[in-house]
Amino acid sequence: MRSAAATVTRVAQRVVVPSAPTPRGALPLSWLDRYPTQRALIESLHVFKGRADAADAEAPARAIERALAAALVSYYPIAGRLAVSDAGELVVHCTGEGVWFVEAAASCTLEDVDYLEYPLMVPKDDLLPHPTYPASDPLPEDSLILLVQVTQFVCGGFVVGFRFSHAVADGPGAAQFMTAVGDIARGHAAPLLAPAWGRDAIPNPPGAAVGPLPVPTELRLQYLAIDISTDYIEHFKARFLEQTGHRCSAFEVLIAKAWQSRTRAARFEPGSPVHVCFAMNARPALRRALPDGFYGNCYYIMRVSAPAERVSDASVYDVVKLIREGKKRLPTEFAQWSAGETADGADPYRITSDYRTLLVSDWSRLGFAEVDYGWGCPVHVVPLTNLDYIATCILVRPSAHKPGARLITQCVAADAVDAFHKGMMRLD
């Protein structure tokens, strides 16, 4: 295999600080930012082709590092550190200490490793920023807000690896920052959209419950990436329109298929409840309160539940209806949660390792696919997961040469992978 000899060498690491003086002091985080599971670094890989005319151009690592320093002037909280206030709450200390930046080189072309299509032909940790810290300053990584690695491939293409603190930004917020870096890398003096902190606009529900953290289990769920054609999606959308007189989205079709296929493959007992949970952007519900340029956490987790047989035995179109009904509940449920009025004091943000629960994320509309550092948009965005005992399904855009969609799943045990994949491929 050509990738067997592929190696990645980290040639430099340094801290990139804002290119101009920035404010100092502590900034409060919202209730959503402070939620216990947010204190994690979300990891992803962004694959870019090179340019034929790039011989005399600035190297990607240099361009991105320069733009990063400039973007941190307006996004100065990202150059700070997470800390706990005297009141015991998580805050951002705006210290201007900067973000970790790693420069690396790969010994192969992107084509040699199939542009990091599945399976990854380069270990993910080779492409993610894992700096080494001085023994005299063993900085805990959960205080960092951003780490970046740019890996140059011999073809001129490159991969940007991000580790971004979920406590400071959700998916749209992280993409907004990456877009700002791209704006400057392409020659703009400042981000085209000025950032705003605005955390006071996020509800702080009175007495809001915080459920327990997910409990690790011995079950190891299998990684599977599935490319979905445009024809497949349009088939189901057209049939749904015929049967109901309503239109549905690709997200609704694919999540309904994934939920049904894993319910069948896992063979849950009839009568046992199964759940699908998906994060919905709550910005529309707060449009009057949120300032333009807000990049903090602003989402709500919708839960749709049904007996296993209602999901496994129904037509996929009936499962789509369940998903759509759940999405319609967002304004009401988010308002109830904001007022501290959830049913039975439940915590809608709780993530569970219960095998009957599928956690879904939609990365296809976050903005990552539109980021441009001067070499065009990425040909591939690879979200990464670290907890292989939590059932997940992530919808992303496929590689540039594959129209349609891609599902990155880690949602069934090894003995159910084949049945799950076959179920996903069925056109009924």
Long-range contacts of the stretch 125-128 (C-beta < 8 A, 24+): 126/8, 126/151, 127/8, 127/45, 127/151, 127/159, 127/161, 128/43, 128/45, 128/161, 128/163, 128/384
Tokens linked to 7? 């190696």
Spatial distance between the Cα atoms of 173 and 365, rounded to a whole number of angstroms: 12
Residue 173 backbone dihedrals phi, psi, to 5 degrees: -70, -40
First to last CA, the chain: 37
User: Is 235 annotated as catalytic?
Assistant: no
For strand 392-396 and strand 357-362, is the pairing parallel, antiparallel, or unpaired? parallel
Element (H, E) at 243: helix 230-244
Report which residue type is found at 158. F
> In sequence order, which residues have a C-beta less than 8 Å from that of residue 204 and are 6 or more positions away?
30, 31
Q: How far is CA 110 from the centre of its chain?
A: 23
Measured at the CA of 358, the angle between CA 353 and CA 360, to 5 degrees, comes to 115
Comparing CA positions, the residue from 229, 173, 197, 224 lying closest to residue 368 is 173
Q: If you search the block for the tokens 């129904």, which residue do you land on?
A: 314
Does 119 sit behind a cis peptide bond, omega within 30 degrees of 0 on the bond before it?
yes
Per-residue CA distances from 22 to 78, 94, 344, 353 (Å): 11, 8, 45, 41
Report which residue type is found at 208. A
CB 67 within 8 A of CB 373: yes
User: Is 166 annotated as catalytic?
Assistant: yes
Check 33, 46, 93, 166 and give the catalytic one: 166
Check 235, 372, 388, 421 and give the catalytic one: 372
- DSSP lists the bridge partners of residue 359 as 277, 392
Q: How far is CA 402 from the centre of its chain?
A: 21
Tokens linked to 361? 């994320």
- CA torsion sign, 281 to 282 to 287 to 289? negative
Q: If you search the block for the tokens 């056109």, which residue do you land on?
A: 427
Q: List active site positions.
A: 166, 372
